[in-house]
């Protein structure tokens, strides 16, 4: 079955980025000159997604405005001879159909996804975390859609994390079925140090069947008092089955301060007009220490 819709949760408090996130969501923070969320939306569009359900909370107007037509700005830019820039802005508002849903209280990622239930309905869907970036030769979520379609089962992206960092993630364990693919038997959200069942950590891309909805609706608050998507996925793994897939590409956690700086450097180094300047800057900074 085709995957046409994607949910992008962007309603978290973003406490790690306060005070920057006091009035705007962390998903609006720029990677070089482009909000993180725009890069995530572009990935979904490139993978063939036709409708995005944006879950927003505080500061929602900046998210909605970003994907709306900015008529005055476009008109002013065009009048000043900056036609290319005006067209670049116009493309953002026309690239995909976007529906926005409010998560009134940040009760957790599982709850954020559940807020989209009525809009998504009875069909498979993707979830892309609005603060997780994948710099990949093929859109990461597109790779995951292929896994979902080949296996006929929900699929989550995972990556092997260094020993000692498992407690920062949802961690999966299970039986390898092919290179880079594991059939999940067990999942745990942020395991206490030393108790993780493996080093395979869930990173922000999921493709799920509608069977997840009733499970999610029944999921009680878990780690940190939040309704955890990982807990609902554990239920799905046990009832229908779930695949963990290692994807091609480099993942950046733009919701973490160091991860955000790293993502900025990595994306800047790929821009011909900035690469040399960034390299020189890094050398200069390293020598100064």
Site residues, ligand UTP (CB under 6 A): 9-16, 55, 103, 106-109, 111-112, 129-131, 255
Least separation in angstroms between residue 288's CB and ligand UTP is 30
Nearer to ligand UTP, 16 or 82 (CB): 16
Whose CA is closest to 116, among 107, 125, 108? 125
In this structure, how many other beta carbons lie within 10 angstroms of the beta carbon of residue 38? Answer: 17
Least separation in angstroms between residue 225's CB and ligand UTP is 11
Which residue has the CB atom at the shortest distance from ligand UTP? 12
Nearer to ligand UTP, 9 or 235 (CB): 9
Query: E-strand spans in the chain?
Result: 5-10, 30-31, 34-35, 51-56, 97-102, 125-128, 132-135, 154-160, 170-178, 181-189, 200-208, 242-246, 250-253
Least separation in angstroms between residue 253's CB and ligand UTP is 8
Query: Helix 140-151 vs helix 36-46: angle between axes, to the nearest 10 degrees?
Result: 40
CB neighbour list of residue 9: distance below 8 Å, 6 or more residues apart: 55, 103, 109, 112, 113, 127, 129, 130
Nearer to ligand UTP, 129 or 188 (CB): 129
Least separation in angstroms between residue 13's CB and ligand UTP is 5
Nearer to ligand UTP, 170 or 174 (CB): 170
Least separation in angstroms between residue 204's CB and ligand UTP is 7
Nearer to ligand UTP, 112 or 153 (CB): 112
Least separation in angstroms between residue 286's CB and ligand UTP is 28
Nearer to ligand UTP, 77 or 172 (CB): 172
CA end-to-end span of the chain: 55
- CB crowding 245-277: b at 16 or more within 10 Å, else e: bebebebbbbbbeebbeebbebbbeeeeeeeee
- Pair 156, 37: CB distance under 8 Å: no
């Amino acid at each position: 079955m085709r995957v046409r819709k994607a949910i992008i949760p962007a309603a978290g408090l973003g406490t790690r980025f306060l005070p920057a996130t006091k009035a705007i969501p962390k998903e609006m923070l720029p990677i070089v000159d482009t909000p993180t969320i725009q890069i995530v939306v572009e990935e979904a569009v490139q993978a063939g997604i036709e409708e995005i359900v944006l879950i927003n909370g505080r500061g929602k107007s900046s998210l909605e405005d970003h994907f709306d037509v900015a008529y005055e700005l476009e008109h002013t830019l065009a009048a000043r001879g900056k036609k290319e820039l005006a067209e670049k802005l116009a493309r953002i508002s026309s690239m995909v159909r976007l529906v926005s849903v409010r998560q009134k209280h940040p009760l957790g990622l599982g709850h954020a996804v559940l807020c989209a239930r009525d809009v998504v309905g009875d069909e498979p869907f993707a979830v892309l975390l609005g603060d997780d970036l994948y710099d990949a030769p093929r859109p990461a979520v597109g790779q995951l859609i292929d896994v979902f379609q080949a296996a006929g089962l929900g699929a989550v992206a995972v990556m092997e994390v260094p020993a000692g960092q498992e407690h920062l993630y949802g961690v999966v364990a299970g039986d390898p079925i092919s290179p880079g693919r594991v059939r999940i038997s067990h999942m745990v959200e942020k395991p206490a140090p030393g108790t993780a069942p493996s080093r395979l950590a869930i990173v922000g891309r999921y493709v799920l069947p509608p069977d997840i909805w009733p499970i999610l609706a029944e999921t009680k608050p878990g780690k940190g008092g939040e309704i955890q998507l990982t807990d609902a996925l554990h239920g799905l793994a046990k009832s229908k089955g779930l695949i963990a897939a290692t994807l091609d590409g480099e993942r950046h956690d733009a919701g973490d301060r160091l991860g955000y700086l790293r993502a900025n450097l990595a994306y800047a180094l790929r821009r011909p007009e900035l690469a040399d300047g960034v390299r020189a800057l890094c050398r200069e900074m390293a020598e100064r220490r």
